[in-house]
């Protein structure tokens, strides 16, 4: 992505480089340098001319000192250097001409040096000759003097004309003077000779130096320096011209390029304008949006460190800070201390890593008042993805929060209320889906709220009559209210139950919005009712039984009496029969009345008299036994159901237990064996007659328990053990059975009224409760149990020997 971003930059750089290149190429003609170079070349030419002039001036004595020529020579050399440098700089390659020219000029300067030197000598001697000749005029003879003058004249002329003929003449003249000088010397005029010798020397010098100087000047004049300069200039100019042309071409290119660029720029400009106006529009829109947002929301902007750089009016209003107090401060001036540090740390971590943060924050205003703000913080990321600015948008939700809290509390309270309602509450929405399922519903149907809510009612695994439910729902929808009394259902554990259900339809704005089912588990109530009924029936039967027993007693008496009579009578008859047999035997032995005896035998066989003699006593005994038992039952029953006084009387517990066993023999006869271990020394105890009820209950329970364990119709028999014992303080009766036992969690409940694990009709659930009441309340004793599931149960009854209720002490 970075590459893309830099792409226009690269384009621009390339364009600029291209432009610069073209420009440079078109400007590569350094006109200043060119001007300087041309100027230098001109100066060189000028200097060259000056030097020529100087040479002539020096030669022909119009210039007395050599500063100018030396000066010009120096300057010429400097110009040469400068031009070389300039040519080097401008890259002009007129090298050959330059080298040639430089060489020529160097040569020229050198020649000039030599010229100066030789010319000096020449001039010196030339100046001396006339002077010397003048001085000698008086000291020599006329002829010599004349000759000397002549020589001087010739020499001077020679200097000017360089005439060959004159030269010869001068030389000849010189010879002559030399001869004269020699003769003078010979004649002893040494000083004079010396003087003349000087003149001769100087004259000779003039001649030689003149030649040298002439030669040098010739060479100087012949040096084609000005040509060289001209040629150099020509070459340079030509090259320069070429460069100009080249630059010109580039300039044209540049021009064209500029035009194109210009058009492009205009185009860009227009586009820019367009974009600008669009941008302005957009900005205007955004401004308006921002304004609109500022009216509604609380806005603050922080820099990368969290320091506030902008806070809108609403922010200032709610936080009660002024603009000066906010700008530059860190946003943590809002911290209320409500949230833990970790809260803010997490917030910062989220936004500083470039992510948006939402949350509710409790802030403090300036005066310490708190307010809740629904906050969204958005980081602005730079190109590296690092946040450099944060904008925080907040909405004041304090009211809403408070309302929510209140609502929550209300809701919670409602929940608690609902939870504590013992009735079942099921709420249905307009789509018949469950939206309310209270605690009672949970425990009754064993369906957790989470499993119920959201489902349709008929999706739940409840065993009840669905048709009835549907009918009820329909009725409720139509009429607004429906009631199902005694609606049968199954508990989750499978046990039967009854519900009393009220269905009320809920209407919101005249539209059906759902249903509310209120149900009470009236199983127990009904059970209790039926128990009550049963109990009443039992009571009635009890009373009836007492009456019956009383009535039956009488016939039973005379039946017994009669059977005893029969027994005794038969006994006598049997004795008689025995005598008759003896007679029969006698007859048989004596052969008397054989026919009659035979008839007797036959009749004996027909009557099966042996059998009869055997069985009749047995039958009589059995009858007696039966009667006796019946009598026993009747009397036991009479004793048992004696309405009894509320007064206690001394009771032989052992006998009472025996009685009870008799009474309820049918209950245990086929189920269990009875073992009794009676304490023979058991003291008599003051008891109410109701105590028998206790024993009865115990025994019946025991046999029921064994039956449950063994299963109905089982050939096996369990064991019921009843034992009595006593201490000084109390007597103890223990009734144990080998029944199914009582689970630990129910052991405490067995004494509860109406608590029963037996099926409806089999038990009233009252037995143990009443027993407990009788033992504990009425006799001041204890009734405890010990049970092991699967093994059996043992009830322990303790009755204090000394009764607390008014009675006789034993």
Partner 1 sequence: MHIVYISLIALFVCQPVWAKDTVDRNAVRSEFIQPVPYPSELSSDKVALGEELFHDVRLSGDQRISCASCHNLASGGVDGLPRSIGVGGAEGDTNAPTVFNSGLNYSQFWDGRALTLEEQVSGPITNAKEMASNWPDVISRLNSDPAYVEKFFTIYNDGINAVNVSDALATFERSLNTVNSRFDQFLRGSVHAISDDEKKGYELFKSYGCVSCHQGQNVGGNVFQKFGVMKDYFADRGGKTRADFGRFNVTGDELDKHSFKVPSLRLAVLTAPYFHDGSAKTLHEAIDVMAKYQLGRSMPDDDAELIIKFLTTLVGSYKGEALYE
- Residues binding partner 1 (CB under 8 A): 62-68, 70-71, 73-75, 77-78, 81-82, 84-85, 88-89, 110, 113-114, 116-117, 120-121, 123-125, 127-128, 131, 194, 198, 201-202, 205, 212
User: Could you tell me the smallest distance in angstroms from the CB atom of residue 47 to partner 1?
Assistant: 11
Alpha-carbon span 514 to 688, nearest angstrom: 60
User: Could you tell me the smallest distance in angstroms from the CB atom of residue 145 to partner 1?
Assistant: 19
Give the nearer residue to partner 1 in terms of CB position, either 31 or 490.
31
Alpha-carbon span 576 to 597, nearest angstrom: 17
User: Could you tell me the smallest distance in angstroms from the CB atom of residue 53 to partner 1?
Assistant: 11
Give the nearer residue to partner 1 in terms of CB position, either 205 or 656.
205
What are phi and psi for residue 488, nearest 5 degrees? -80, 140
Alpha-carbon span 566 to 627, nearest angstrom: 13
User: Could you tell me the smallest distance in angstroms from the CB atom of residue 219 to partner 1?
Assistant: 11
Alpha-carbon span 21 to 250, nearest angstrom: 9
| Of the candidates 765, 776, 784, the residue with the CA atom closest to the CA atom of residue 800 | 776
Give the nearer residue to partner 1 in terms of CB position, either 112 or 688.
112
Alpha-carbon span 808 to 802, nearest angstrom: 9
Give the nearer residue to partner 1 in terms of CB position, either 166 or 208.
208
H or E element at residue 349: helix 341-352
Q: Could you give the strand order of the β-sheet that contains 730-737, starting from the edge strand earlier in sequence?
A: 672-677, 718-726, 730-737, 792-800, 782-788
Give the nearer residue to partner 1 in terms of CB position, either 36 or 360.
36
User: Could you tell me the smallest distance in angstroms from the CB atom of residue 50 to partner 1?
Assistant: 9
Give the nearer residue to partner 1 in terms of CB position, either 140 or 216.
216
| Of the candidates 704, 698, 768, the residue with the CA atom closest to the CA atom of residue 735 | 698
Three-state secondary structure string covering 509-558: CCEEEEEEEEEEECHHHHHHHHHHHHHHHHHHHHHHHHHHHHHHHHHHHH
Alpha-carbon span 299 to 292, nearest angstrom: 12
Give the nearer residue to partner 1 in terms of CB position, either 135 or 358.
135
Give me the half-sphere count of Cα atoms (radius 13 Å) on the Cβ side of residue 498. 14
List b or e across 162-186, with b for residues whose CB sees 16 or more CB atoms inside 10 angstroms: eeeebbebbeebbeebeebbeebee
As to burial, measured by CB atoms within 10 angstroms (0-12 exposed, 13-18 middle, 19+ buried), residue 414 is exposed
Give the nearer residue to partner 1 in terms of CB position, either 84 or 796.
84
User: Could you tell me the smallest distance in angstroms from the CB atom of residue 9 to partner 1?
Assistant: 35
Give the nearer residue to partner 1 in terms of CB position, either 65 or 450.
65
Give the nearer residue to partner 1 in terms of CB position, either 116 or 401.
116
DSSP state of 784: E
| Of the candidates 147, 149, 154, 152, the residue with the CA atom closest to the CA atom of residue 184 | 147
Give the nearer residue to partner 1 in terms of CB position, either 215 or 506.
215
User: Could you tell me the smallest distance in angstroms from the CB atom of residue 226 to partner 1?
Assistant: 20
User: Could you tell me the smallest distance in angstroms from the CB atom of residue 27 to partner 1?
Assistant: 20
Residue written as tokens 């059998």?
Answer: 611
H or E element at residue 497: strand 496-508
User: Could you tell me the smallest distance in angstroms from the CB atom of residue 277 to partner 1?
Assistant: 53
What are phi and psi for residue 256, nearest 5 degrees? -60, -45
Residue 193 CB neighbour total at 10 angstroms = 19
Helices (H), 591-672: 594-607, 609-640, 653-663, 665-668
Give the nearer residue to partner 1 in terms of CB position, either 61 or 676.
61
SS3 286: helix
User: Could you tell me the smallest distance in angstroms from the CB atom of residue 17 to partner 1?
Assistant: 26
Give the nearer residue to partner 1 in terms of CB position, either 78 or 376.
78
CA angle 550, 552, 555 (to 5 degrees): 125
Alpha-carbon span 328 to 311, nearest angstrom: 11
User: Could you tell me the smallest distance in angstroms from the CB atom of residue 93 to partner 1?
Assistant: 18
Alpha-carbon span 484 to 529, nearest angstrom: 18
User: Could you tell me the smallest distance in angstroms from the CB atom of residue 130 to partner 1?
Assistant: 11
Give the nearer residue to partner 1 in terms of CB position, either 131 or 369.
131
59: Cβ contacts below 8 Å, ≥ 6 apart: 115, 119, 213, 217
User: Could you tell me the smallest distance in angstroms from the CB atom of residue 70 to partner 1?
Assistant: 4
Q: How many angstroms from the chain centroid is the CA of residue 373? A: 22
Give the nearer residue to partner 1 in terms of CB position, either 129 or 361.
129
DSSP state of 449: H
User: Could you tell me the smallest distance in angstroms from the CB atom of residue 105 to partner 1?
Assistant: 14
User: Could you tell me the smallest distance in angstroms from the CB atom of residue 61 to partner 1?
Assistant: 11
User: Could you tell me the smallest distance in angstroms from the CB atom of residue 347 to partner 1?
Assistant: 59
User: Could you tell me the smallest distance in angstroms from the CB atom of residue 144 to partner 1?
Assistant: 20
* 8 A C-beta contact, residue 725 and residue 805: no
Give the nearer residue to partner 1 in terms of CB position, either 70 or 719.
70
Q: How far is CA 338 from CA 364, 395, 805, in A?
A: 9, 18, 69
Give the nearer residue to partner 1 in terms of CB position, either 88 or 248.
88
Bridge partners (DSSP) of residue 133 are none
Bridge partners (DSSP) of residue 795 are 735, 785
Bridge partners (DSSP) of residue 718 are 672
Give the nearer residue to partner 1 in terms of CB position, either 109 or 171.
109
Residue written as tokens 């010879």?
Answer: 175
User: Could you tell me the smallest distance in angstroms from the CB atom of residue 208 to partner 1?
Assistant: 11
Alpha-carbon span 696 to 694, nearest angstrom: 5
């Amino acid at each position: 992505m970075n590459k893309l971003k830099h792409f226009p930059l690269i384009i621009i750089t390339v364009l600029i480089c291209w432009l610069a290149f073209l420009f440079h190429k078109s400007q590569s003609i350094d006109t200043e340098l060119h001007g300087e170079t041309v100027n230098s070349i001109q100066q060189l030419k000028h200097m060259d001319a000056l030097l020529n002039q100087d040479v002539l001036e020096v030669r022909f004595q119009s210039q007395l000192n050599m500063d100018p020529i030396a000066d010009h020579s120096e300057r010429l050399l400097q110009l040469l250097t400068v031009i070389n440098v300039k040519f080097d700089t401008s890259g002009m390659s007129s090298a050959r001409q330059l080298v040639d020219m430089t060489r020529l000029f160097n040569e020229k300067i050198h020649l000039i040096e030599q010229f100066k030197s030789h010319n000096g000598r020449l001039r010196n001697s030339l100046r001396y000759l006339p002077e010397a000749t003048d001085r000698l005029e008086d000291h020599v003879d006329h002829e010599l003097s004349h000759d000397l003058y002549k020589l001087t004249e010739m020499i001077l002329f020679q200097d000017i004309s360089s005439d060959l003929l004159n030269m010869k003449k001068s030389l000849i003249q010189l010879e002559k003077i030399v001869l004269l000088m020699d003769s003078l010397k010979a004649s002893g005029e040494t000083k004079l000779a010396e003087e003349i010798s000087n003149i001769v020397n100087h004259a000779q010098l003039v001649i030689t130096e003149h030649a040298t100087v002439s030669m040098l000047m010739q060479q100087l004049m012949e040096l084609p320096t000005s040509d060289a300069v001209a040629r150099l200039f020509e070459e340079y100019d030509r090259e320069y011209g070429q460069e100009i042309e080249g630059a010109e071409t580039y300039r044209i290119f540049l021009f064209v390029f500029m035009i194109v660029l210009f058009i492009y720029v205009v185009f860009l400009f227009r586009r820019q304008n367009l974009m600008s106006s669009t941008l302005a529009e957009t900005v205007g829109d955004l401004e308006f949006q921002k304004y609109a947002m500022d009216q509604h929301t609380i806005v603050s902007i922080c820099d990368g460190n969290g320091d506030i750089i902008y806070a809108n009016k609403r922010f200032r209003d709610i936080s009660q800070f002024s603009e000066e107090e906010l700008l530059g401060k860190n946003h943590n001036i809002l911290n209320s201390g409500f949230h833990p540090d970790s809260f803010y740390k997490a917030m910062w971590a989220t936004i500083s890593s470039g992510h948006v943060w939402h949350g509710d924050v409790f802030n403090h205003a300036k005066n310490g008042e708190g307010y809740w703000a629904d906050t969204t913080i958005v980081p602005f990321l730079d190109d590296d993805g690092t946040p450099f600015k944060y904008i925080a948008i907040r909405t004041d939700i304090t009211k809403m929060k408070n309302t929510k809290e209140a609502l929550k509390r209300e809701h919670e309270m409602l929940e608690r209320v609902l939870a504590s309602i013992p009735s079942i509450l099921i709420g249905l929405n307009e789509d018949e889906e469950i939206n309310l399922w209270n605690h009672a519903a949970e425990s009754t149907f064993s369906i957790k709220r989470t499993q119920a809510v959201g489902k349709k009612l008929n999706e739940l695994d409840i065993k009840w009559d669905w048709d009835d439910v549907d009918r009820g729902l329909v009725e409720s929808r139509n009429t607004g209210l429906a009631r199902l009394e005694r609606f049968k259902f199954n508990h989750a554990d499978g046990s039967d139950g009854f519900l009393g259900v009220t269905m009320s339809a809920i209407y919101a704005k005249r539209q059906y919005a759902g249903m509310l089912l209120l149900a009470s588990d009236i199983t127990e109530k009904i059970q209790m009712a039926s128990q009550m009924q049963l109990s009443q029936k039992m009571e009635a039967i009890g009373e009836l039984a007492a009456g019956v027993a009383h009535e039956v007693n009488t016939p039973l008496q005379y039946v017994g009496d009669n059977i005893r009579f029969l027994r005794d009578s038969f006994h006598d008859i049997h004795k008689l029969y025995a005598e008759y047999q003896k007679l029969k035997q006698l007859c048989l032995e004596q052969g008397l009345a054989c026919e009659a005896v035979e008839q007797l035998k036959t009749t004996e066989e027909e009557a099966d008299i042996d059998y009869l003699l055997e069985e009749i006593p047995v039958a009589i005994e059995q009858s007696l036994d039966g009667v006796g038992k019946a009598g026993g039952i009747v009397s036991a029953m009479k004793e048992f159901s004696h309405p009894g006084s509320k007064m206690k009387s001394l009771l032989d517990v052992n006998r009472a237990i025996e009685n009870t066993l008799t009474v309820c023999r049918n209950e245990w006869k086929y189920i269990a064996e009875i073992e009794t271990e009676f304490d023979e020394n058991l003291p008599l105890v003051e008891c109410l007659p109701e105590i028998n009820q206790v024993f009865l209950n115990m025994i019946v329970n025991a046999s029921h328990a064994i039956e449950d364990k063994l299963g109905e119709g089982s050939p096996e028999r369990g064991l019921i053990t009843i034992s009595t014992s006593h201490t000084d303080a109390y007597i103890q009766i223990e009734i144990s059975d080998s029944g199914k036992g009582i689970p630990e969690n129910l052991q405490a409940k067995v004494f509860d009224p109406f608590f029963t694990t037996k099926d409806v009709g089999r038990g009233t659930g009252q037995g143990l409760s009443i027993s407990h009441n009788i033992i504990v309340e009425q006799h001041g004793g204890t009734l405890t149990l010990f049970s092991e599931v699967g093994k059996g149960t043992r009830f322990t009854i303790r009755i204090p020997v000394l009764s607390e209720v008014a009675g006789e002490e034993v």
